[in-house]
């Protein structure tokens, strides 16, 4: 479960100072379900240990469901979960070998890759889900990119919403480096406080902080999907050498995430109850942020949108690199996991839909 204490162990290995935060049958039918479950489990009883990092947000819901519903265990994995406050911390833990994998944004791992860290994407976790918040009297100003000119905007560096917002400004002909005062803070909670106190005019946050901001009297002016529709967010990444050494474990890992997605789409109330063990906010807010339609939790690695994000960040000047980003995403692991589940449960409509989406998103 949660291991905040790990932060102390890995603090010395951290390079970045990006901090503070960040789902029974009976008779013949029952026998069919049991057989499918047995077929989904690995043949060996030996469990493979994986240390997994997460952020306490609805965006990592598939981790939480897979853990609490026993999907990791059923796939032959001994998964230990470690909480981090932001993507930079988590990625440094993966880079240093303290973690095997985790889901920490898209802008953040791509920034690391651009600087030489061989992270490889093996699955998806979240898409969209970032919002621009401001005081009610100022919110209309920030519904268009032009409203940010000359304003003080608080953000968390390397958060996906930050990168998408800057890209949106550039696309509107605004030079965010000179025309906007950008305040890079430690966490979305700090962003909210800066706006409330008048130190910032607006800010970038992610779910559930967008909903928490509204609870505290602020308003959401716009969503990241307005700047880049369908953009990917948290990707599940591992170091290249770790992936090569534990490839079978990551296939099992993706199977558990796919099963968690199937559960998350069909069991909303129980998913929210599971989330509440990891994201300590009011359940009503938690349900709103998870199932509002502004955030999407999908295990597909989505190579096409991941690549498009890279090109957008290069065009925007957010990253500088001549690397071929397609070498840093490995959708075949997800494909193998999905094929195994499809073979075990050919009648599962969720798996059938994911298979069709995979062909669109990755081939």
**Average pLDDT of the residues in 255-281:** 96
pLDDT of 30 over the 60 cut: no
What is the pLDDT confidence band of residue 8, given thresholds at 50, 70 and 90? very low
Q: Does any domain span residue 12?
A: yes
User: Are residues 19 and 31 located together in one domain of the fold?
Assistant: yes
Q: Does any domain span residue 1?
A: no
User: Are residues 246 and 358 located together in one domain of the fold?
Assistant: yes
- φ and ψ of 333, to 5 deg: -65, -45
Q: Which residue has the tokens 């560096």?
A: 157
**Average pLDDT of the residues in 341-362:** 97
What is the pLDDT confidence band of residue 239, given thresholds at 50, 70 and 90? very high
Does the bond joining 208 to the residue before it have cis omega, within 30 degrees of 0?
A: yes
Listed range (39-48, 65-74, 191-200, 229-238) with the worst mean pLDDT:
39-48
| C-alpha–C-alpha distance, residues 254 and 346, integer Å | 18
Q: 55: domain range?
A: 6-126+232-362
Q: Does any domain span residue 283?
A: yes
User: Are residues 17 and 121 located together in one domain of the fold?
Assistant: yes
User: Are residues 156 and 12 located together in one domain of the fold?
Assistant: no
Tell me, what's the pLDDT at 292?
A: 86
Alpha helices in 198-238 (DSSP H): 209-215
**Average pLDDT of the residues in 127-145:** 96
User: Are residues 244 and 355 located together in one domain of the fold?
Assistant: yes
User: Are residues 153 and 175 located together in one domain of the fold?
Assistant: yes
| C-alpha–C-alpha distance, residues 150 and 302, integer Å | 36
CATH number of the domain residue 160 falls in: 3.40.190.10
What is the pLDDT confidence band of residue 86, given thresholds at 50, 70 and 90? confident
The tokens for 74 are 């059923």
User: Are residues 251 and 306 located together in one domain of the fold?
Assistant: yes
| C-alpha–C-alpha distance, residues 288 and 240, integer Å | 36
User: Are residues 23 and 84 located together in one domain of the fold?
Assistant: yes
Listed range (8-17, 161-170, 210-219, 249-258) with the worst mean pLDDT:
8-17
**Average pLDDT of the residues in 258-264:** 98
- Per the prediction, the chain carries an average pLDDT of 88
| C-alpha–C-alpha distance, residues 239 and 275, integer Å | 27
User: Are residues 285 and 336 located together in one domain of the fold?
Assistant: yes
The rounded percent of the chain whose pLDDT value lies above 90 is 81
**Average pLDDT of the residues in 117-127:** 97
> pLDDT, tens digit, for every residue of 138-182?
999 999 999 999 999 999 988 899 999 999 999 999 999 999 999
User: Are residues 157 and 199 located together in one domain of the fold?
Assistant: yes
Domain end call among 206, 226, 246: 226
Tell me, what's the pLDDT at 173?
A: 96
> pLDDT, tens digit, for every residue of 274-329?
999 999 888 999 999 999 889 999 999 999 999 999 999 999 889 999 999 999 99
Task: Name the burial class of residue 49, with classes exposed (0-12), middle (13-18) and buried (19+) by CB atoms within 10 angstroms of its CB.
Answer: exposed
Tell me, what's the pLDDT at 45?
A: 62
| C-alpha–C-alpha distance, residues 200 and 315, integer Å | 27
Domain end call among 197, 226, 255: 226
Q: How many CB atoms lie within 10 A of CB 61?
A: 27
Alpha helices in 188-329 (DSSP H): 188-197, 209-215, 240-245, 247-266, 268-275, 283-291, 303-316
Is the four-CA dihedral 161, 62, 86, 357 of positive or negative sign? negative
Domain end call among 200, 226, 252: 226
Q: 12: which residues sit within 8 A by CB, 6+ positions away?
A: none
User: Are residues 177 and 81 located together in one domain of the fold?
Assistant: no
User: Are residues 269 and 355 located together in one domain of the fold?
Assistant: yes
**How many structural domains are present in the chain?**
2
Tell me, what's the pLDDT at 37?
A: 45
148: enclosing H helix or E strand: none
Q: List residues bridging with 131 in a β-sheet.
A: 205, 223
Angle 269-273-277 from CA coordinates, rounded to 5°: 160
pLDDT of 1 over the 90 cut: no
Q: Does any domain span residue 187?
A: yes
| C-alpha–C-alpha distance, residues 300 and 338, integer Å | 10
Listed range (17-26, 33-42, 71-80, 256-265) with the worst mean pLDDT:
17-26
**Average pLDDT of the residues in 327-334:** 98
């Amino acid at each position: 479960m949660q291991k905040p204490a790990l932060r102390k162990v890995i603090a010395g290995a951290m390079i970045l100072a990006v901090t503070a935060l960040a789902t029974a049958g009976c008779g013949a039918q029952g026998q069919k379900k049991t057989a499918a479950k047995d077929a989904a489990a690995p043949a060996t009883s030996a469990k493979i240990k994986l240390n997994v990092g997460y952020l306490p947000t609805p965006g990592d819901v598939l981790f939480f469901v897979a853990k609490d519903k026993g999907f990791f265990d059923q796939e032959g994995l001994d998964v230990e979960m470690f909480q981090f406050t932001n993507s930079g911390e988590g990625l440094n833990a993966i880079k240093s070998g303290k973690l095997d994998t985790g889901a920490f944004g898209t802008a953040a791992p791509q920034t690391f890759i651009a600087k030489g860290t061989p992270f490889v994407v093996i699955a998806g976790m979240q898409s969209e889900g970032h919002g621009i918040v401001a005081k009610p009297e100022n919110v209309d100003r920030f519904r268009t990119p032009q409203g940010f000119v000359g304003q003080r905007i608080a953000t968390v560096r390397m958060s996906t919403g930050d990168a998408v917002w800057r890209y949106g400004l550039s696309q509107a002909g605004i030079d965010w480096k000179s025309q906007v005062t950008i305040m890079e803070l430690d966490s979305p909670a700090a962003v909210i406080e800066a706006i409330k106190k008048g130190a910032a005019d607006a800010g970038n946050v992610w779910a559930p902080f967008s909903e928490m901001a509204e609870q505290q009297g602020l308003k959401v002016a716009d969503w990241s999907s307005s700047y880049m529709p369908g953009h990917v967010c948290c990707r599940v990444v591992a170091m290249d050498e770790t992936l090569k050494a534990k490839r079978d474990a990551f296939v099992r890992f993706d199977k558990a995430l796919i099963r968690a997605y199937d559960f998350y789409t069909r069991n909303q109330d129980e998913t929210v109850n599971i989330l509440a063990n990891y994201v300590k906010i009011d359940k009503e807010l938690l349900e709103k942020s998870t199932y509002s339609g502004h955030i999407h939790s999908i295990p597909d690695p989505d190579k096409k949108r991941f690549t498009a994000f890279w090109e957008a960040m290069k065009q925007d000047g957010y990253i500088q690199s001549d690397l071929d980003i397609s070498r840093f995403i490995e959708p075949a692991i997800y494909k193998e996991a999905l094929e195994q589940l499809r073979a075990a449960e050919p009648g599962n409509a969720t798996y059938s839909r994911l298979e069709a989406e995979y062909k669109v998103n990755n081939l």
